Amino acid sequence: RNYSIALIPGDGIGVDVIREGKKVLDTACEIDGGISIQYEQFDWSCEYYLKHGKMMPDNGLEILKNFDSIYLGAVGYPGVPDHVSLWGLLLPIRRQFQQYINIRPVKLLRGIKSPLANRGVEDLDFIVIRENNEGEYSSIGGRMYEGTNMDMAIQNSVFTRHGVERVLRYAFNLANQQGKRKRLTAATKSNGINHTMPFWDEYVQKINKEFPDVKTDIIHIDALCAFFVTKPDVFDVVVASNLFGDILTDLGAAIIGGLGIAPSANINPEKKFPSMFEPVHGSAPDIAGKGIANPTAAIWCASMMLEHFGENKLAKAIMEALQDVLEEGRIVTPDLGGNATTEEFGEQVCRRLREN
Amino acid sequence: RNYSIALIPGDGIGVDVIREGKKVLDTACEIDGGISIQYEQFDWSCEYYLKHGKMMPDNGLEILKNFDSIYLGAVGYPGVPDHVSLWGLLLPIRRQFQQYINIRPVKLLRGIKSPLANRGVEDLDFIVIRENNEGEYSSIGGRMYEGTNMDMAIQNSVFTRHGVERVLRYAFNLANQQGKRKRLTAATKSNGINHTMPFWDEYVQKINKEFPDVKTDIIHIDALCAFFVTKPDVFDVVVASNLFGDILTDLGAAIIGGLGIAPSANINPEKKFPSMFEPVHGSAPDIAGKGIANPTAAIWCASMMLEHFGENKLAKAIMEALQDVLEEGRIVTPDLGGNATTEEFGEQVCRRLREN
Ligand SMILES: CC(C)[C@H](C(=O)O)[C@@H](O)C(=O)O
Ligand SMILES: CC(C)[C@H](C(=O)O)[C@@H](O)C(=O)O
């Protein structure tokens, strides 16, 4: 049981949280005994971009291809436009490695308080599957008549049968096998967006036929966002396009206690290419370098990575240790109202992992 | 002071709530004395569609053009695809009458409890200005290779200088004049959507120069949705594209107590064409015909309509009466935990309006 991981801490707090995530992984290996992980670290980031005019070397994807997985912090830096930094690193990795499934649990951890009144761990426990390769992030489009009164920009959303079927099949399968209620909620907006979204709805209905035990709701994204707040307890598995999944999962992060908490796994289910694990949060330039970011999301990502490797026992042990520390409430980062550092929190999770 | 209103109750609970809204308008006229309103009612709806194969007559827009405003309930009906019903009525009205501003207050009314823990009326009080004519609802696009493995659909988002500048200018102006903190938050997604959204951001920065006193934040839609939950108290005026505004305002409705509450005004600021007032909620087929829908949103819309006419005193009186009834908590519709009917609630607001 030998795994290779490419570490890309990236920018800002990405560096802080990945450091702690790695410690937790090391501790997991140490207590297990039978596992070993090789790391290689890459400094690809906006800082790298400012030096080299690109986010990663030209053969960056070639290099990453040989790893079992990628553990990424965050990219983004004031002064480097987001669409430059992301289309130069994060989005090509997701796309080239066919990480077409983005798994984002919306699960309230023990010890965390939801900002929703009277909602506890039993109310907030579902999974969002986000399409991660196509849809609204097509990069197709452009601008015309720049500098004149007629200046305009057009962007294409692209939905393909291939792209839509594979994510829906994955989500239906998940609802069928692991869903508590065998219920799939599909986000749409076919009332306002009248080509791609009716197309999406049609395939939801079609793939549903392959999973007759799964009950499906097709809900408009606007209403669905409202329901995440007003009745989060009804969801089981939610499936959404790239943009809608993005929106739902930041909202999901908010209701489970904030962006410091929420993890994300960019999965290539065929394991033909490495999968990538990254917190939902960004590089948070406002607190970068202060060592106070909450590494919970990064540690949760480490657990998801081990689960992806099939190391379910260790994955679970990490989540238990993490939740024990959160529940204990002694070492608390500022985002959750305490004054612990990123490092103190990470080390406490390692300690707990050894003790448990 | 003579106004003409086209009533389009539409489908489902639209019919119930507009009936009460009209009663409140009538009561306002009665107590004022100097105002009179002419109504004409139209049965354009999905039911009309099932009979006539269209949502409204061919000269529908011609007919509506002569009114001072349109008071619409909701359209939508099981069996009639949403993109048919909406592109046949609601969206053409918004577009042909250049109702390019959609005003949606996210304001917690007295007497309503937010689902957000520990948030009261002072925390939830801002306005979302939604672009209402173009953007992601372009209707441009199509499908190719249907019935084959290569089946695909494409939809274009279209952002024009004309369309973007006018909504931004309206929002900046509002933040400048009425904003408590002269703060404008612009929703974007320029990190993932790399043509139209950087275009939008560029114009936000450009129009900001015309309003140097307004402080602007440009925030990605995913994070912004999260902030609506985690720090709703920081907002003043929020401006967003058509789709993002749609999403933010349903979420906004959720945090101010649900879809039964939230109003929306589709404004043609030049008053060259009628403006349209409609609740954010839909036709709610599940409770249609039961007479239990909450008419709060529709009544709030009636108040916004009077405000648009310049009848600020009456507009305010309606909001006070409405909040008095909500705060009193004797007549409460099922969505808020009571068992009053739509009619009982509407009549109580009228009674209160007369008493106040
Ligand atoms: C019904 C639908 C087309 C509409 C929209 O998305 O504009 C509605 O959700 C709204 O918010 O007014
Ligand atoms: C940084 C951005 C491009 C990215 C996305 O929208 O996919 C992020 O928000 C996420 O959710 O992973």
Residue-by-residue DSSP string for A266-312: EE-TT-SS-EEEEESS---GGGTTTT----HHHHHHHHHHHHHTT-H
Using CA atoms, how far apart are residues A343 and A41, in angstroms rounded to an integer? 19
Confidence (pLDDT) at B82: 80
Q: For residue B292, which phi and psi values (nearest 5 degrees)? A: -120, 5
Mean pLDDT across A255-283? 95
DSSP string, B51-64: HHSSSS-TTHHHHH
Residue whose C-alpha is closest to residue B133's, from B158, B105, B168: B158
**Residue A7 phi, psi (nearest 5):** -95, 125
Amino acid letter at A110?
A: R
Please judge whether B152 and A158 are an interchain contact, meaning their C-beta atoms are less than 8 angstroms apart: yes
The pTM for the full model equals: 0.96
Residue A78's φ and ψ, nearest 5 degrees, are -60, 135
Q: Tell me how far apart the alpha carbons of residues A10 and B254 are, in angstroms, rounded to a whole number.
A: 36
Residue A262 beta carbon below 6 angstroms from any ligand 2 atom: no
For residue A83, pLDDT over 90 is answered with no
Sheet holding A69-74, edge to edge: A36-41, A2-10, A69-74, A275-279, A263-267, A101-107, A125-131, A237-240, A183-188, A215-220
Q: Which CATH number fits domain A113-139+156-255: 2.60.40.10, 3.30.479.10, 3.40.1670.10, 3.40.718.10?
A: 3.40.718.10
Q: Give the pair of three-digit tokens for residue A308.
A: 């992806």
Within chain A, which residue ranges are assigned CATH 3.40.718.10? Answer: 1-99+266-356, 113-139+156-255
Closest CA to A112 of A325, A356, A342: A325
CA B69 to chain centre: 14
Average pLDDT value for residue range B299-311: 97
A151 vs A84, A147, A217, B158, CA distance in Å?
22, 6, 40, 11
Rg of chain B (C-alpha set): 20
A89, amino acid identity:
L
> Can you tell me which atom of ligand 2 is nearest the CA of A91?
3
pLDDT in tens, A107-150: 999 999 999 999 999 999 999 999 999 999 998 999 999 999 99
CA B354 to chain A, closest CA, distance in angstroms equals 34
Q: In chain B, which residue's Cα lies nearest the Cα of A192? A: B137
Mean pLDDT of A247-258: 96
CB-CB contact of A247 with B247 (8 Å): yes
User: Quick one: tokens of B184?
Assistant: 């404008």
Strands A237-240 and A125-131: parallel
Name chain B contacts of A113, Cβ cutoff 8 Å. 117
Q: According to the model, what pLDDT value does residue A86 have?
A: 86
pLDDT of residue B234: 97
Cβ of A193 within 8 Å of Cβ of B136? The answer is yes
- Burial environment of residue A190 by CB neighbours within 10 A (0 to 12, 13 to 18, 19 or more): buried
Could you give the residue range(s) of every CATH 3.40.718.10 domain in chain B? 1-100+269-356, 113-255
Instruction: Give the 3-state secondary structure of residue A281.
Output: coil
What is the structure's pLDDT at A87? 86
Assign a CATH topology to domain B1-100+269-356.
Isopropylmalate Dehydrogenase (3.40.718)
Residue B329 CA, chain-centre distance (Å), reads 25
Task: For residue A193, give the nearest of B113, B155, B199 by CB distance.
Answer: B155
Calculate the dihedral angle through the C-alpha atoms of A52, A56, A60, A64, rounding to the nearest 10 degrees: 140
Confidence at residue A178, expressed as pLDDT on a 0 to 100 scale: 87
A91, A84 in Cβ contact below 8 A?
no
Closest residue in A to B165 (Cα–Cα): A149
| Facing residue for B258 by CB, picked from A139, A194, A230 | A230
For domain A1-99+266-356, the CATH superfamily is Isopropylmalate Dehydrogenase (3.40.718.10)
Inter-chain touch B225–A251, beta carbons under 8 Å: yes
Q: What is the pLDDT of residues B211-230, one digit of tens each?
A: 999 999 999 999 999 999 99
- Show residues of chain B in contact with A156, CB under 8 Å: 141, 154-157
How many Cβ atoms from other residues are within 10 Å of residue B239's Cβ? 29
Question: Does pLDDT of B115 surpass 90?
Answer: yes
The predicted-structure confidence for B168-200, as pLDDT tens digits, reads as follows 999 999 999 988 899 999 999 998 999 999 999
Centroid of ligand 2 to alpha carbon of A335 (angstroms): 21
CATH of domain B113-255: 3.40.718.10
Q: What is the B278 CA–ligand 2 centroid distance (Å)? A: 33
| Cα→Cα distances A196→A105, A159, A309, B151, B222, Å | 26, 6, 35, 11, 21
The vertex-A152 CA angle with A146 and A154, nearest 5°, equals: 125
Q: If we measure between CA atoms, which residue out of A27, A25, A94 comes closest to residue A265?
A: A94
- Lookup result for tokens 């406002």: A286
- Write out the E strands in chain B: 2-10, 36-41, 69-74, 101-107, 125-131, 141-144, 152-160, 183-188, 215-220, 237-240, 263-267, 275-279
Find tokens 């140097």 and name the residue.
B212
CA distance A47 to A50: 5
**Ligand 2 atom 4: the closest Cα is on which residue?**
B192
